[in-house]
Amino acid sequence: MDDLSLIMKNDLSSLARRSLLHGACMLALATGPGLTAALAQPPGATGELLPRHTGELPPGSTGELPPGSTGELPPRHTGELPPGSTGELSPRSKGEPPLGASARSLIDQARRTNPGFAAARAEVDAARERVTPAGALPDPRFELELMDATNTMSGRSASLLPGRVGETRYRIVQPLPGWGKRELAVKAAQAQVGQAEAMRDAAWVELAARIEALWLRYHAADRERGLARDALALLQGLEALGLARYELGLLPQQAVLRMQREITAQRLALVDIEQRRQGLAAGLNGLLGRAHDAPLAAPADPDPLPERLEAAALVDALASANPEVQVAANGIDRARAERERTYQDRLPDFAVGVTNNRPDEGKASWDVMFEVMIPLQQSSRRAREREAEYLLMAAEARREDARARASGELGGAASMYARGRETLRLLDHTLLPQAQATRDASRAALASGTVDFDSVIEAERQLIDIRVRRLQTELETRLALAEIKKLTGEFK
């Protein structure tokens, strides 16, 4: 280390020299004695290590790294990889954003892990499985008939065993639905599948919209926390300045006390923001099926807001892709299929069968059977038909109601978005620059002694309030945009 000290010239201060020496020593301890000797070489050295620093090199050694060496630290500094590990990055670390950095990452995760959406998918699968049995024939029936079980004709004792009675009959009966009933049953089952799929899509859109809304609030809380910390740092700087002026007798005590009150109020606001941020993170974890305290990445800035929205395109998307409208439309298809099935019940059902007769004494014989269901209960059948008609009317009314509600909600969300964009424009181009200029002017006036300290505090407070208002306005505008995306089915 003496040679290393000789390298330090007189142009370094004693403090800097001690810092450099300490850093070199720590680095030498971490990487071995070779680096210490390398640092100790004077200008023009050949690169050979001095024996008194490193010891003699083995014969034939050149001091160069062996072929294929990367210069990485030995395993004692990096730790060994676990067995079977390839050292490759996980799929998320290769290019995907960390969980919580964007709303899209959370939505993609919820598609895989949300229990409610998993239940909706299972219901769709169950509805699909009902299509095949809907068009299948009913199971056949097997009948066993014991004729003259008391053996009155033969004089024997009574029996319940086939072959020991007067005659044993084996019969197989196959019910046959009326013409077209199986096809209508399949059609009704397929309509149920369509409605289940629409309900699944509606549940997904609702879930994705909730996640995006929560994430936007989470992002706003994170940014508000940053603003609060910056404001607290500014107020603390003003407090230090105020205390210095107070000690010189240039500032009254009440001004210092007011500054300290402002600092305390800002700290309380920071605590409230932090608690709100943690609550929003817990809500997001709950929608993802994770523990409430599972870590989430710091939110990144979302995409810029579009300047304007095309009203005609929104109306078309509302009519064709709104989840609630689609559910109601599939409900109409199901109601129509059920109505057709109800009217088809006017036709009778059938059954065919074959019977093998085996008398106790005599030859076996075969019988063929044909049955017809007689639709005599006309009053109950007409009541079911009227029920089907009313259900169809109700389904059509629900579709119109869904369209009307969605149209009204879309108009309200679009109006809120337009208002938010205009408010942001005024804040960014007018009010916020004015508040910043007022703050800068009050600081300059304080330095020249033309204004008191209260004016500076008030200017800082106004700037903080305007920044928070700007953040809140942006949040409301983005929430309106998320509502528009939900109503137009963009989350699908």
Q: Where residue 349 falls among pLDDT bands split at 50, 70, 90? A: very high
Q: How confident is the model at residue 88 (pLDDT cuts 50, 70, 90)?
A: very low
Band of pLDDT at residue 140, cut at 50, 70 and 90: very high
- Asked whether the predicted pLDDT for residue 450 surpasses 80, the reply is no
Quote the CA–CA distance of 128 and 138 in Å, as a whole number: 19
127-to-183, 284, 423 alpha-carbon distances in Å: 17, 30, 48
Establish if 143 belongs to a structural domain.
no
Residue 58 resides in a domain: no
331 with 233, same domain: the answer is yes
Q: Are residues 122 and 2 in the same domain?
A: no
Residue 49, pLDDT > 50, answer no
Q: Are residues 8 and 127 in the same domain?
A: no
Q: How confident is the model at residue 209 (pLDDT cuts 50, 70, 90)?
A: very high
If pLDDT is split at 50, 70 and 90, which confidence band does 96 have?
Answer: low
Q: Provide the pLDDT for residue 476.
A: 96
Alpha helices in 288-377, H assignment, sequence order: 311-321, 323-344
pLDDT at 453: 73
DSSP 83-147: TT---PPPHHHHTSPPTTSSHHHHHHHHHHH-HHHHHHHHHHHHHHHTHHHHTSPPPPEEEEEEE
Whole-angstrom Cα Rg for the chain = 42
pLDDT score recorded for residue 444:
86
* Rounded to 5°, angle at Cα 121 from 118 and 123: 110
| Distance from C-alpha of 453 to C-alpha of 246, rounded to nearest angstrom | 11
Number of separate domains in the chain: 2
Which pLDDT score is estimated for 75?
Answer: 42
Tell me what pLDDT residue 95 has: 54
**Does a structural domain hold residue 193?**
yes
Q: What is the pLDDT of residues 56-77, one digit of tens each?
A: 444 444 444 444 444 443 444 3
In a domain, residue 167? The reply is no
- Mean pLDDT (whole number) for 303-317: 89
Where is pLDDT greater, at 465 or 34? Answer: 465
Which CATH number does the domain housing residue 248 bear? 1.20.1600.10
Q: Which band of pLDDT confidence, cut at 50, 70 and 90, is reported for residue 97?
A: low
**pLDDT band (50, 70, 90) for residue 279:** very high
More confident call, 471 vs 3: 471
Give the residue-averaged pLDDT of 125-144: 94
Flag the least confident range among 235-244, 334-343, 362-371: 235-244
Torsion angle, alpha carbons of 4, 9, 10, 11, to 10: -130
Average pLDDT, the chain: 81
- Give the model's pLDDT for residue 455: 83
Residue 262 is part of which domain span?
A: 112-133+181-348+375-487
In a domain, 195, yes or no: yes
Note the pLDDT of residue 28.
36
Q: Are 373 and 277 in contact (CB under 8 A)?
A: no
Pair (256, 340) in one structural domain: yes
Predicted confidence band at 401 (pLDDT cuts at 50, 70, 90)?
very high
Task: For 416-444, write each residue's pLDDT tens digit.
Answer: 999 999 999 999 999 999 999 998 898 88
**Does residue 117 share a domain with residue 29?**
no
Cα distances from 368 to residues 171, 178, 348, 364, in angstroms, run 9, 20, 20, 14
Same domain, 25 and 118: no
The pLDDT, as a whole number, for residue 305 is 92
List pLDDT tens digits, range 188-207.
999 999 999 999 999 999 99
Tokens of 402: 């869904």
Q: What pLDDT is stored for residue 4 in this prediction?
A: 33
Mean pLDDT to the nearest integer, 39-67 = 41
* Together in a domain, 1 and 123: no
CB 210 within 8 A of CB 284: no
Treating both helix axes as pointing N-terminal to C-terminal, what angle do 323-344 and 181-247 enclose, rounded to 10 degrees? 160
294 in any annotated domain: yes
Secondary structure string (H, E, C) spanning 409-457: HHHHHHHHHHHHHHHHHHHHHHHHHHHHHHHHHHHHHHHHCCCCHHHHH
Report the share of the chain in percent with pLDDT over 70.
Answer: 80
Torsion from C-alpha of 370, 373, 374, 377, nearest 10 degrees: 170
Q: Provide the 3-class DSSP secondary structure of residue 248.
A: coil
Domain assignment of residue 261, yes or no = yes
Does the pLDDT value for residue 464 go beyond 80?
A: yes
> Average pLDDT of 326-342?
94
**236-240, 259-263, 383-387 — most confident range:** 383-387
More confident of the two residues 142 and 492: 142
Determine the average pLDDT of the residues in 292-302: 92
- 127 and 24, same structural domain? no
Is residue 10 in a domain?
yes
